[in-house]
């Protein structure tokens, strides 16, 4: 029986190699395919810039909207924002599957854009129609909380917004890359230029959202929301204007079905004995569109065993749910090996996902005056983290990376895992800095007894925690993105982008869980609610120190993962 299995594997391998060469020749014959390149990118990039201004602008300073316009408590507002952000980072995985399996990228972006617009219109109505929000609170009387219907309408708008952004996010960059011919050097240069322009534009968009848009909405919530809804409409128009120029790649099926096939085939063949096979090239099925042929190191697995009547007369697989290639199995195992590193980002990213919540509450209780007549909006201080990234990242690329490359003898200077470790260290420093500033701010506010509890302490004291936060974001997110890009199998590169969204979602839910547990336990057992709506009566500094402790424990976990992890090798074509 083992001899028959080996012979069948050898026959299949020969046919696979012939098929692979034909596919490669076919791929090369399409190298001169005429693609629009920058003629299409101008529409896509314009659409993304305007859409991001509208979406990020809608959510920037939203914590203040929930606290002061909807009269919600601090914990309730954090929970709503956390739930929305978490769902927004889970839906992109579904959006990517839908785009790959049936709709295609263009239709997914188009439908999702209208979903985003619907969400923005609903949120605009919550600010415009008096029946859709509670009456304003002057501070001298008991504040009226929103009714269930008012809160439900608000959550409905956030839900539509999450659905829309979840469909646009995973498809925008791949759809833009489809417009370039990546089989030639000119096309690959175009892709690199587009990515540089894209990430540069996103930084500018975030700066605009946290400054000009926040300032406008501080003057009038209705006007701010309405203008952002009009901008979203304009972004949809820009996207459809380029419809006649775009190249449309038909959907090829979701990669997740291939992953499921491996587990199903392995389960069905769990009773089979594995033969001893010396030839590592048996049933090797490498991707043809990659720049490198990544031959995964093979181990024993039953899902690749050929049983009776599983191949047709041409040697092709009859049922992929019973028989998978060795390469396919090893690719799934490679993803599983990456999961511990992926999990390390959950606790590390909590400071990043909560930067628009508790720091805003701190800023509201500090002196935000800039000169005699100008007051900065509380959410504007997040700009410090963006400025940190904007200054430090070019300096790292131009000066520090070449110096580190000489020391480490590695072209990239720091490996992806080393960057992740540095990011977690910055996460610990972020929480420690935030805790110390809050400890000082609370003491000053209580000792001076200022009206409304505003401490005579400049809000720029929040800058150190945002500097560390920017460094944490830079090293952690860049490190994870680089890790997924280099360590994912070639056929599964798109999953790397989904893993980024997924780890952010889990981080948001972990942060929300910690907030709720701390809120309930300290209120019942400690005699003082650490996360009291009035942070002067709470102990927000203790919460920061607690999260710093979790991040420190996570650092030891990351170091253990780094010690045990072995990088994947590749073969050049």
Residue 465 in contact with residue 359, Cβ under 8 Å? yes
Please name the residues in contact with 49: beta carbons below 8 A apart, sequence gap of 6 or more.
201, 205
Exposed/middle/buried for 332, CB within 10 Å: 0-12, 13-18, 19+?
Answer: buried
Of 215, 208, 540, whose CA–CA distance to 361 is shortest?
Answer: 540
- Reduce the secondary structure of 432-497 to three states and give it as a string: HHHHHHHHHHHHHHHHHCCHHHCCCCEHHHHHHHHHHHHHHHHHHHHHHHHHHHHHCCHHHHHHHH
pLDDT at 550: 94
Distance CA 350, CA 508 (A): 7
pLDDT at 132: 92
- Reduce the secondary structure of 148-167 to three states and give it as a string: HHHHHHHHHHHHHHHHHHHH
Residue 540 in contact with residue 442, Cβ under 8 Å? yes
pLDDT in tens, 4-58: 333 333 443 444 444 444 444 444 344 335 677 788 888 888 888 888 888 888 8
pLDDT in tens, 442-476: 999 888 876 677 888 888 999 999 999 989 988 88
Residue 322 above 80 pLDDT?
no
pLDDT at 312: 54
pLDDT at 411: 67
- The DSSP string of 314-379 is TS-BS-TTT---HHHHHHHHHHHHHHHHHHTHHHHTHHHHTTTTHHHHHHHTSB-BSSSS-B--GG
Residue 291 above 60 pLDDT?
no
Pick 209 or 222 by higher pLDDT: 222
Residue 336 above 60 pLDDT?
yes
Residue 231 in contact with residue 117, Cβ under 8 Å? no
Reported as a pLDDT band with limits 50, 70 and 90, residue 573 is very low
* DSSP at 233: H
* DSSP at 306: -
Residue 221 above 60 pLDDT?
yes
pLDDT at 180: 83
Percentage of the chain modeled with pLDDT above 70: 77
Distance CA 487, CA 494 (A): 12
**E strand or H helix at 572:** strand 571-572
Query: Structure tokens of 366?
Result: 């500090």
The torsion defined by the Cα of 125, 130, 133 and 139, in degrees rounded to 10, comes to 130
Residue 295 above 60 pLDDT?
no
pLDDT at 289: 45
Q: What is the mean predicted confidence (pLDDT) over 117-136?
A: 93
Q: What are the residue boundaries of the structural domains of the chain, listed by start? A: 1-7+36-253, 254-324, 337-567
pLDDT at 313: 52
Pick 279 or 46 by higher pLDDT: 46
Residue 135 above 80 pLDDT?
yes
pLDDT in tens, 230-257: 999 999 999 999 998 998 888 866 666 7
Q: Is it true that 1-7+36-253 and 337-567 share their CATH fold? A: yes
Q: What is the mean predicted confidence (pLDDT) over 312-340?
A: 70
Residue 320 above 70 pLDDT?
no
Domain spanning 337-567: which CATH class is it, in words? Answer: mainly alpha
Q: For residue 332, what are the β-bridge partners?
A: none
pLDDT at 429: 95
pLDDT at 545: 95
Please tell me the CATH superfamily of domain 1-7+36-253, with its number.
MFS general substrate transporter like domains (1.20.1250.20)
* 178-187, 190-199, 526-535: the lowest-pLDDT one: 190-199
Calculate ∠ Cα 551-557-558, nearest 5°.
Answer: 85
Pick 244 or 297 by higher pLDDT: 244
Residue 102 in contact with residue 250, Cβ under 8 Å? no
Please name the residues in contact with 525: beta carbons below 8 A apart, sequence gap of 6 or more.
none
Residue 560 in contact with residue 421, Cβ under 8 Å? no
Residue 414 above 80 pLDDT?
yes
Q: What is the mean predicted confidence (pLDDT) over 429-436?
A: 94
Distance CA 520, CA 541 (A): 17
pLDDT at 18: 42
Percentage of the chain modeled with pLDDT above 90: 23
Residue 367 in contact with residue 458, Cβ under 8 Å? yes
Distance CA 132, CA 412 (A): 54
Please name the residues in contact with 462: beta carbons below 8 A apart, sequence gap of 6 or more.
359, 362, 363, 366, 381, 384, 434, 437
Reported as a pLDDT band with limits 50, 70 and 90, residue 544 is very high
Of 531, 551, 359, 547, whose CA–CA distance to 441 is shortest?
Answer: 359
**E strand or H helix at 403:** helix 401-408
pLDDT at 28: 39
Chain mean pLDDT for the chain? 79
Residue 213 above 90 pLDDT?
no
Place of tokens 């830079």: 474
Residue 310 above 70 pLDDT?
no
- How many residues belong to the chain? 573
Pick 259 or 475 by higher pLDDT: 475
pLDDT at 142: 74
Place of tokens 């930084």: 203
3-state secondary structure of 290: coil
Residue 352 above 80 pLDDT?
yes
Pick 565 or 390 by higher pLDDT: 565
Q: For residue 292, what are the β-bridge partners?
A: 572
b vs e for 514-533, b when ≥16 Cβ sit within 10 Å of the residue's Cβ?
bbeebbeebbeeeeebbbbe
């Amino acid at each position: 029986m083992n001899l028959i299995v080996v012979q069948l594997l050898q026959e299949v391998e020969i046919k696979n190699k012939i098929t692979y060469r034909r596919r490669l020749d076919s791929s090369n014959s399409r190298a001169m395919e005429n693609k629009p390149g920058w003629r299409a990118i101008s529409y896509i990039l314009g659409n993304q810039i305007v859409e991001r201004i509208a979406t990020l602008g809608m959510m920037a300073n939203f914590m203040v909207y929930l606290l002061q316009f909807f009269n919600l408590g601090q914990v309730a507002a954090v929970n709503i924002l956390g739930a929305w952000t978490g769902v927004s980072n889970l839906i992109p995985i579904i959006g990517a599957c839908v785009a790959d399996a049936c709709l295609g990228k263009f239709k997914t972006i188009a439908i999702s854009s209208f979903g985003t617009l619907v969400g923005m219109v609903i949120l605009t109505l919550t600010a415009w129609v008096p029946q859709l929000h509670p009456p304003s609170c002057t501070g001298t009387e008991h504040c009226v909380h929103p009714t269930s219907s008012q809160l439900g309408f608000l959550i409905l708008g956030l839900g539509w917004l999450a659905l829309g952004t979840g469909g646009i996010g995973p498809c925008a960059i791949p759809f833009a890359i489809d417009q370039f011919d990546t089989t030639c050097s000119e096309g690959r240069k175009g892709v690199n230029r587009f990515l540089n322009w894209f990430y540069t534009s996103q930084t500018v968009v975030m700066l605009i959202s946290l400054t000009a848009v926040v300032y406008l909405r501080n003057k009038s919530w209705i006007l701010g929301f309405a203008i952002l809804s009009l901008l979203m409409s304009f972004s949809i128009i820009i996207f459809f204007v380029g419809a006649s120029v775009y190249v449309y790649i038909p959907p090829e099926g979701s990669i997740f079905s291939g992953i499921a096939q491996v587990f199903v085939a392995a389960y069905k063949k769990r009773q089979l004995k594995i033969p001893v096979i010396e030839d590592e090239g048996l049933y090797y099925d490498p991707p043809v569109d990659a720049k490198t042929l990544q031959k995964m190191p093979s181990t024993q697995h039953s899902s690749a065993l050929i049983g009776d009547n599983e191949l047709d007369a041409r040697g092709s697989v009859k049922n992929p749910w019973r028989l998978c290639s060795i390469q396919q199995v090893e690719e799934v195992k490679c993803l599983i090996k990456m999961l511990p590193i992926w999990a390390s980002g959950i606790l590390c990213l909590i400071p990043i996902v909560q930067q628009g919540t508790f720091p805003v509450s701190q800023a509201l209780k500090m002196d935000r005056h800039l000169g005699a007549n100008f007051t900065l909006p509380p959410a504007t201080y997040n700009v410090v983290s963006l400025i940190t990234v904007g200054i430090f990242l070019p300096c790292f690329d131009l000066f520090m990376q070449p110096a580190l490359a000489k020391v480490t003898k590695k072209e990239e200077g720091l490996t992806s895992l080393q960057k992740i470790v540095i990011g977690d260290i910055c996460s610990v420093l972020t929480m420690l800095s935030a805790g110390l500033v809050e400890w000082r701010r609370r003491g000053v506010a209580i000792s001076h007894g200022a009206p409304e509890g505003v401490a005579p302490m400049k809000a720029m004291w929040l800058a150190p925690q945002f500097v560390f936060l920017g460094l944490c974001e830079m090293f952690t997110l860049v490190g994870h993105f680089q890790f997924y890009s280099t360590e994912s199998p070639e056929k599964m590169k798109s999953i790397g982008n989904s893993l980024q969204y997924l780890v952010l979602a889990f981080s948001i839910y972990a942060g929300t869980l910690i907030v709720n547990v701390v809120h309930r336990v300290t209120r019942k057992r400690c005699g003082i609610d650490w996360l009291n709506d009035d942070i002067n009566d709470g102990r927000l500094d203790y919460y920061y120190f607690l999260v710093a402790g979790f991040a420190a424990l996570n650092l030891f976990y990351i170091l253990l993962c780094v010690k045990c992890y072995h990088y994947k090798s590749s073969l050049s074509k």
